[in-house]
A and B are shown apart, each in its own frame.
Chain A
């Protein structure tokens, strides 16, 4: 038995409106007697459906029906339509019919049609005055269909056409057709004064025609009043032509009133724009640029007035309405700013818009582009996704559309995500086409899905696995034909704001960058040594005479260059990097960084390593640095830019911090823009790299240093103290597990392995000399490129957002390093530096209460970290705390003045496991950071999703094992993206942040630098 379905719709022929309640019969045409296959009544939208089994009609040799329809009135009496003369022979199992019946045959069967003309307040009108808003509401249309609404003059000329969409009920609801009716002639765009408009339109009868395509469904008359009597207030020019807006400083706020229903003096207020004024609404005059409130008193004569409320130089950009109120004698200064029944107000049309200069400040074609972050990395588990804009070659690039950031109309819509080459706004202006990267398969391979509500996890996709091509890219979400299913979706390969979204446009959405460890911009470099004879400089205890000897590398266009004149002509000048070695018994220490010098030269620097005598201290090394800067400037002339980076190792690492100070104090005039201390001592001058000589600072230090190992004194003599004391510029410290002192210098090698600080159980933990060199090349080159060449793509390295791949892969992936970072843009919650008492931990730096809610087994202790923990290498105060239950917590309340953290990108703190504490696990520690807002919403983020709180690397000689803090940075956007099952936090109202110890049942840590930061 075969089932046949006959379905379709019955429409009014002229408009396409579906007719409900009609009786439909389907027949199988036969030679003698036609078989009735079934009947149905049309539904609300005119649709019908009839099912029939083959046994109902099949006769001998009759395999498929030959179908025709008959349509009757609802009482089944009168035949309206038949297709008997157009039989559908040998019909299929599913046949669709569209029946169009002329209007004249339908009579009262047509749906109820009604056109209402409405006034400003939504009341029905039969006629209109000029200046009013002509508003229509139309019922009885085909549902969800675009209709042309045409306004015609009496002689049939089209004044204008509006295309309006009917809703699902076939209604066009209250649509303003002509905002200020009659004040211009749409045919000529001629602006008319109110008087001219009255004269032009008075007593006319216009025609409103509604239809689809070329068919007019129905018409309606619009009458214009014979006499104009209704009050009218509007912005005008001096002659009375309407002026609704202008660019700031290009006009004054002039108001005209007509048919004013009261005599005498009135006060005209200029107030902030409000839609749909109603009696009882509060209002207040705006304050003009000079500070005075915006109102003016004026006399009404012959029911008219004109007044200037504000001169052009008093007007700030904004949207304003005007309110006219009769003055009550004696009450002029005692007005109640509540809208009264007899106040006149500009209603549907905004009284006046004062625009900012648009194109002067906005370079966007069309004036609008929706940018939002999309590129990032997928996170396993909450919060599922992190926005990222820098990827290293070989990384996976993901993209996500956060439902919380999408326009609700875009939820449930099909979208295509294009990965395209970045192009600037000017290029978009001439070409909005989208070209999905060829390496990803081009436009046919663009990835499509339907956006889902509820969680960003539903809308993230792997877009570019193993991104291989360096460059700058944008991500575009193309909503194409605005479809709700993939089957109906067609991307249009074009970026069409405002529907489509872009991650990019002004700056690139994301970039794929090379590894700074291996990336170079010059194929060749030259090299030479010089010895310009001895010079005597003062040192910390005495003076010392030193040969001015150095080795120099420089970018070159030829291989094997040895002369300054062979410097590359690619640039007119190059930044200068000088390396200051540390103390050693050998006199060739300065030759131990050639691997780094060569890489720096090929990266576009003039790079030199200078000789220093054995036994020299900190200040003497700094003085020699300046001697060589002078020599290098003389040798390279204008090729050497006064844009200098300095790197010192060991005693040299302390010396470069001294040099930054001396350069300032002695007014030496060197532009030192980057300072790196490699395994520095901190034994001469207790330097504070800060204040007026604050400089971007990087410390690199090995956890297995056999020379500068710490272990005694307060603070310990290591780079941690130098890092802690540095301030006033961005700073970062890379603590490298397994790194020694000497392996960064190829001449020194393993010398410090035999200084008595590295024991046999340490040896397997040491990383190779090759790994040391990769750490130095990767991090130091990136640091100098960032700070001397303004290459911002490397900043993520110093926030530990990514690790150069050569470092990551060194020694088979055995290199672990942990990073501290401090930005100059930050709002400290607690730095624990206030006077220390047993209870001082209970108040934070910003004056908020700190509480453990009586959960911790003992009160936290706030003090200098070296006083709290003799394994701490730090020179800063912090908080030592221990927990013994997953319900334990420590909460920092945020005072109201600091609760808006939207100016920052991350919440950050430093933390270390306390060495030797039995409370910590054998491995990384973990905890949650929770942000709570004032409305009761909160979200907890597991720290390990972003950063490890590592187990301290233990040393054979236990006194050298360090409670070394690293920085945890959690991007604030992970607290506001939509994540299923958790609140979104209001970053304008952060009431508190809480360390929740629910990840591990016990622990003992030291924390510092709790802050919101860039």
Chain B
């Protein structure tokens, strides 16, 4: 109802994000990724894959929580220092977060405590597995 009156992307103060390092197995190898979690609305599943983008950089994949109240987006490329965070499906941007991404806000893992064969592409640790 009245959907056509909405100008996408929606920018709402209720939307927020958190960013942190996480380990995920990608292709059966531990990989260090950046996870940006977005909350503040209900996220439906759709046919088209959801995405999160920081500036020009788009997430590698996104998982919508079972209850639909949050999404976890995963990045395996270096994130910009700062940038606008947006969420959408396919090529369609639907949400824009009012608080911009700031790399300083990233909760980092201790590289010394990661598995030896962890793969990552991160500007803080340099490329390649941890020695």
Residues of A within 8 A of B (CB): 541-542, 582-585, 614-615, 617, 650-651, 679, 681, 683, 707-708, 711-713, 717, 741, 751-752, 754-757, 759-760, 956
B45 touches A683 (CB 8 A): no
Q: Residues of B contacting A956 with CB < 8 Å?
A: 4
Q: Which of B59-67, B79-87, B110-118 touches A?
A: B59-67
A542 touches B25 (CB 8 A): yes
Q: Residues of B contacting A711 with CB < 8 Å?
A: 91-92
A585 touches B47 (CB 8 A): no
Residue of B nearest to A652 (CB): B47
* Any A CB within 8 A of the CB of B44: yes
Residue of B nearest to A762 (CB): B4
Residue of A nearest to B43 (CB): A585
Q: How far is the CB of B129 from chain A (nearest CB, A)?
A: 20
14 more CB-based (< 8 A) A-B contacts, given A681-B48, A751-B44: A541-B60, A541-B61, A542-B26, A542-B61, A584-B46, A585-B45, A617-B49, A679-B47, A683-B48, A708-B48, A712-B92, A741-B47, A755-B46, A759-B3
B26 touches A683 (CB 8 A): no
A754 touches B46 (CB 8 A): no
Contact of B90 among A712, A751, A760 (CB under 8 A): A712
Q: Residues of B contacting A681 with CB < 8 Å?
A: 47-48
Q: How far is the CB of A536 from chain B (nearest CB, A)?
A: 12
Contact of B46 among A541, A707, A713, A759 (CB under 8 A): A707
A707 and B48 CA atoms in complex are apart in Å by 7
Contact of A760 among B4, B47, B61, B63 (CB under 8 A): B4
Contact of B45 among A615, A679, A708, A741 (CB under 8 A): A615
A713 and B91 CA atoms in complex are apart in Å by 7
The 8 A-B residue pairs with the shortest CB-CB distance in the complex, in nearest-first order: A712-B91, A650-B47, A585-B45, A707-B47, A541-B61, A614-B45, A759-B4, A583-B45
> Contacts A683-B48, A707-B46 known; A614 to B64 CB distance under 8 Å?
yes
B92 touches A541 (CB 8 A): no
A755 and B26 CA atoms in complex are apart in Å by 31
Residue of A nearest to B44 (CB): A585
Q: How far is the CB of A593 from chain B (nearest CB, A)?
A: 16
Contact of A583 among B3, B47, B60 (CB under 8 A): B47
- Pull 15 A–B residue pairs with CB atoms less than 8 Å apart, ordered by A: A542-B26, A582-B47, A583-B47, A584-B45, A585-B64, A614-B45, A681-B48, A683-B90, A712-B90, A717-B48, A741-B47, A751-B44, A757-B92, A759-B4, A956-B4
1/0 contact string of B5-43 vs chain A (CB within 8 Å): 010100000000000000011100000000000000000
Q: Residues of B contacting A717 with CB < 8 Å?
A: 48, 90-91
- Most chain A C-beta atoms within 10 Å of own C-beta, residue among B3, B47, B64: B47
Residue of B nearest to A717 (CB): B90
1/0 contact string of B55-76 vs chain A (CB within 8 Å): 0000011011010100000000
> Contacts A541-B60, A756-B8 known; A708 to B3 CB distance under 8 Å?
no
Q: Residues of B contacting A751 with CB < 8 Å?
A: 44
A651 and B45 CA atoms in complex are apart in Å by 11
Residue of A nearest to B61 (CB): A541
Q: How far is the CB of B70 from chain A (nearest CB, A)?
A: 13
Q: How far is the CB of A716 from chain B (nearest CB, A)?
A: 9
* Any A CB within 8 A of the CB of B106: no
A582 and B47 CA atoms in complex are apart in Å by 6
1/0 contact string of B93-117 vs chain A (CB within 8 Å): 0100000000000000000000000
Q: How far is the CB of B11 from chain A (nearest CB, A)?
A: 15
A760 and B68 CA atoms in complex are apart in Å by 27
Interface size, chain B (Cβ < 8 Å)? 24
Q: How far is the CB of A900 from chain B (nearest CB, A)?
A: 47
A679 and B92 CA atoms in complex are apart in Å by 18
Q: Residues of B contacting A650 with CB < 8 Å?
A: 47
Q: Residues of A contacting B45 with CB < 8 Å?
A: 583-585, 614-615
User: DSSP class of A's interface residues: helix, strand, loop or mixed?
Assistant: loop
A19 and B46 CA atoms in complex are apart in Å by 98
Q: How far is the CB of B49 from chain A (nearest CB, A)?
A: 6
Q: How far is the CB of B69 from chain A (nearest CB, A)?
A: 11
Q: Residues of B contacting A541 with CB < 8 Å?
A: 26, 60-61
Q: How far is the CB of A706 from chain B (nearest CB, A)?
A: 9
Q: Residues of A contacting B25 with CB < 8 Å?
A: 542
Q: How far is the CB of B37 from chain A (nearest CB, A)?
A: 15
Q: Residues of A contacting B6 with CB < 8 Å?
A: 756
Q: Residues of B contacting A708 with CB < 8 Å?
A: 47-48
Residue of B nearest to A543 (CB): B25
Residue of A nearest to B88 (CB): A756
B92 touches A756 (CB 8 A): yes
Residue of A nearest to B68 (CB): A585
A357 and B89 CA atoms in complex are apart in Å by 69
Q: Residues of A contacting B90 with CB < 8 Å?
A: 683, 712-713, 717
- Most chain A C-beta atoms within 10 Å of own C-beta, residue among B48, B64, B66, B91: B48
Q: How far is the CB of B110 from chain A (nearest CB, A)?
A: 24
Q: Residues of A contacting B49 with CB < 8 Å?
A: 617, 683
Contact of B94 among A752, A756, A759, A760 (CB under 8 A): A756
Q: How far is the CB of A51 from chain B (nearest CB, A)?
A: 92
Q: Residues of B contacting A712 with CB < 8 Å?
A: 90-92
Q: How far is the CB of B88 from chain A (nearest CB, A)?
A: 10
A583 and B68 CA atoms in complex are apart in Å by 13
B3 touches A615 (CB 8 A): no
Q: Residues of B contacting A582 with CB < 8 Å?
A: 47
Q: Residues of B contacting A756 with CB < 8 Å?
A: 3, 6, 8, 92, 94
Q: Residues of A contacting B92 with CB < 8 Å?
A: 711-712, 756-757
Q: Residues of A contacting B94 with CB < 8 Å?
A: 756
Q: How far is the CB of A284 from chain B (nearest CB, A)?
A: 70
Q: Residues of A contacting B64 with CB < 8 Å?
A: 585, 614-615
A754 and B61 CA atoms in complex are apart in Å by 24
Q: How far is the CB of B44 from chain A (nearest CB, A)?
A: 5
Q: Residues of A contacting B24 with CB < 8 Å?
A: 542
A24 and B113 CA atoms in complex are apart in Å by 136
Q: How far is the CB of A92 from chain B (nearest CB, A)?
A: 91
Q: How far is the CB of A568 from chain B (nearest CB, A)?
A: 36
A583 touches B46 (CB 8 A): yes
Residue of B nearest to A616 (CB): B45
Residue of A nearest to B63 (CB): A615
Q: How far is the CB of B75 from chain A (nearest CB, A)?
A: 13
Q: How far is the CB of B76 from chain A (nearest CB, A)?
A: 11
Q: How far is the CB of B5 from chain A (nearest CB, A)?
A: 9
Residue of A nearest to B1 (CB): A754
A585 and B63 CA atoms in complex are apart in Å by 12
A956 and B3 CA atoms in complex are apart in Å by 12
Q: Residues of A contacting B48 with CB < 8 Å?
A: 681, 683, 707-708, 717
Q: How far is the CB of A279 from chain B (nearest CB, A)?
A: 83
Q: Residues of B contacting A760 with CB < 8 Å?
A: 4
A649 and B10 CA atoms in complex are apart in Å by 29
Q: How far is the CB of B74 from chain A (nearest CB, A)?
A: 8
Q: How far is the CB of B64 from chain A (nearest CB, A)?
A: 6
A651 touches B47 (CB 8 A): yes
Q: How far is the CB of B119 from chain A (nearest CB, A)?
A: 15
Q: Residues of B contacting A754 with CB < 8 Å?
A: 3
Residue of B nearest to A617 (CB): B49
Q: How far is the CB of A398 from chain B (nearest CB, A)?
A: 45
Q: Residues of B contacting A755 with CB < 8 Å?
A: 46, 89
A437 and B47 CA atoms in complex are apart in Å by 53
Q: Residues of A contacting B89 with CB < 8 Å?
A: 755
B66 touches A614 (CB 8 A): yes
Residue of A nearest to B2 (CB): A760
Residue of B nearest to A708 (CB): B47
Residue of B nearest to A753 (CB): B3
- Most chain A C-beta atoms within 10 Å of own C-beta, residue among B44, B49, B63, B66: B49
Residue of A nearest to B50 (CB): A615
